[in-house]
């Protein structure tokens, strides 16, 4: 690489976080330095987890960890490792009061942090059931700020996703990518392994104005879906045409492709799973937050995902997300179904 090619002024995650806090002062008249600490910590946890994911095969981390998460799904050693990394890194910031993880039945309330004002919710390693066949996996996170001094746990602190102050995911794939929004724009970073930093690759990303025709769902469940979903699929396949089916079965991967190219990702409710499979707080909320920030949409079929009031930290939620062209068309079929047509 010639010196002319060498980037002597990289926009690293750390630099973005500082600039973003400065921007926040201009926009809102105040900074949130603690949020900056938390985002930086998530970057560290992402690098540690990425290293574990890359080496999992050699280090026997694919094996079952012996436990099960609150869904009753077998936990792999890698699930437990990723969870421990994110819990420890966030705890060490001394800025996070409460944590919710898919891998833990109950919230973690960090003792002695009455001054702390942040709640972090996360799925530390989503899609890990795919990892043995080398399918990409990811971490999904969302961050709330709370002025509630009495917030001893989340029993009365659950709030709609629209109140998140930041959300994002890390995709552990052919490269390690972090996608992040703190409320103004969606920004993407790629881990540069040569010097171990996340470097910005896309600033203020918006979904394509002409979205690709892609639908992403597990059609193996189609017979169990409601009429609206089935009629929507028939419409795009047989009446519109030209759509491609793309389904990896790892939410972060399927959502990342949808964010970049357009189309629709769906995990509907079905006759057996009345609220679908994906988790509202730490899967659907963060992905919906990013989709809306990038000009897309996310709904449960009736309500914008971000406006749903959670009742339980692990509750599930049907989700349809993607470009407005496709999500609005889905909602037209829901309206027809509601009208009995
Ligand atoms: P299915 C992975 O197990 C996961 O939680 C998400 O990452 C993914 O979108 C979904 O489940 C896939 O579920 O039922 O299609 O295998």
pLDDT score for 3: 66
Contact present, 107 and 99 (Cβ < 8 Å): yes
Ligand 1 atom at shortest distance from the alpha carbon of 129: 3
Q: Which residues of 22-57 are buried (b: 16+ CB within 10 A; e: fewer)?
A: eebeeeeeebbebbbbbbbbbbebbbbbbbbbeebe
User: Which of these, 149, 127, 146, 144, lies nearest to 136 by C-alpha position?
Assistant: 127
Specify the residue for token string 């659907």.
284
Ligand 1 atom at shortest distance from the alpha carbon of 73: 3
Tokens for 190, please give them: 């790629």
Burial class (CB in 10 A: 0-12, 13-18, 19+), 238: exposed
* Distance of alpha carbon 168 from alpha carbon 186, whole angstroms: 9
pLDDT score for 298: 98
How do the residues of the chain divide into helix, strand and coil, expressed in percent and rounded to 5? 35, 25, 40
* Distance of alpha carbon 261 from alpha carbon 321, whole angstroms: 13
Specify the residue for token string 């992403």.
216
- The SS3 call for residue 289 is helix
Specify the residue for token string 């769906």.
266
Contact present, 311 and 157 (Cβ < 8 Å): no
End-to-end alpha carbon distance in the chain: 63
Q: What is the DSSP string of 155-175?
A: TTT---GGGEEEEEEEEESSS
Burial class (CB in 10 A: 0-12, 13-18, 19+), 16: buried
pLDDT score for 24: 86
Contact present, 287 and 328 (Cβ < 8 Å): no
Ligand 1: residues within 6 Å at CB? 126-127, 129, 218, 249-251, 254, 267, 277
Ligand 1 atom at shortest distance from the alpha carbon of 249: 12
Tell me the chain's radius of gyration from C-alpha atoms. 20
pLDDT digits (tens, 9 = 90+) for 66-89: 677 776 666 778 999 999 999 999
Neighbours of 8 (CB within 10 A): 5
* Distance of alpha carbon 323 from alpha carbon 146, whole angstroms: 31
CA nearest ligand 1 atom 2, residue: 127
Contact present, 298 and 269 (Cβ < 8 Å): no
pLDDT score for 283: 98
pLDDT score for 8: 86
Distance 249 CA to ligand 1 centre (A): 5
pLDDT score for 154: 67
| Dihedral sign of CA atoms 255, 12, 167, 46 in order | positive
pLDDT along the chain (341 residues), means of 10: 76 96 87 94 98 85 69 79 97 96 94 89 93 94 85 73 97 97 96 95 97 98 97 97 97 98 98 96 98 98 98 97 98 96 83
pLDDT score for 290: 98
pLDDT score for 151: 61
Contact present, 112 and 102 (Cβ < 8 Å): no
Ligand 1 atom at shortest distance from the alpha carbon of 278: 5
Complex ipTM over 0.90: yes
pLDDT score for 115: 85
pTM: 0.95
CA nearest ligand 1 atom 1, residue: 249
C-alpha distances (whole Å) from 194 to each of 147, 155, 198, 199 are 41, 44, 11, 11
């Amino acid at each position: 690489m010639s010196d002319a090619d060498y980037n002597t002024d990289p926009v690293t995650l750390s630099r973005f976080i500082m600039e973003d806090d400065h921007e926040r002062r201009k926009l809102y008249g105040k900074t949130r330095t603690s949020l900056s600490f938390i985002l930086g910590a998530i970057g560290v946890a992402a690098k540690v987890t990425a290293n574990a994911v890359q080496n999992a095969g050699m280090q026997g981390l694919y094996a079952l960890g012996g436990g099960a998460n609150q869904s009753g799904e077998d936990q792999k050693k890698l699930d437990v490792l990723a969870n421990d990394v994110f819990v420890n890194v966030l705890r060490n910031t001394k800025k996070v009061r409460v944590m919710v993880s898919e891998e833990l039945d109950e919230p973690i309330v960090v003792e002695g942090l009455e001054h702390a004002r942040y709640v972090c919710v996360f799925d530390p390693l989503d899609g890990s059931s795919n990892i043995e066949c080398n399918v990409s996996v990811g971490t999904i996170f969302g961050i709330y700020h709370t002025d509630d001094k009495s917030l001893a746990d989340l029993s009365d602190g659950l709030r709609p996703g629209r109140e998140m102050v930041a959300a994002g995911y890390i995709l552990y794939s052919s490269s390690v990518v972090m996608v992040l929004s703190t409320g103004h724009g969606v920004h993407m970073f790629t881990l540069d392994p040569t010097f171990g930093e996340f470097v910005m690759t896309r600033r203020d990303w918006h979904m394509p104005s002409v979205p690709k025709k892609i639908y992403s769902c597990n059609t193996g469940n189609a017979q169990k879906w409601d009429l609206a979903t089935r009629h929507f699929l028939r419409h795009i396949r047989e009446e519109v045409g030209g759509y491609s089916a793309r389904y990896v079965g790892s939410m972060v991967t399927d959502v990342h492709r949808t964010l970049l190219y357009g189309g629709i990702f769906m995990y509907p409710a079905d006759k057996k799973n009345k609220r679908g499979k994906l988790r509202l707080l730490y899967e659907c909320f963060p992905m919906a937050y990013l989709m809306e920030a990038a000009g897309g949409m996310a709904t449960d079929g009736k309500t914008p995902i971000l406006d749903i009031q959670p009742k339980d930290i692990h509750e599930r939620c049907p989700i349809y997300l993607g470009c407005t062209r496709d999500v609005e068309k889905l909602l037209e079929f829901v309206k027809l179904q509601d009208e009995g047509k």
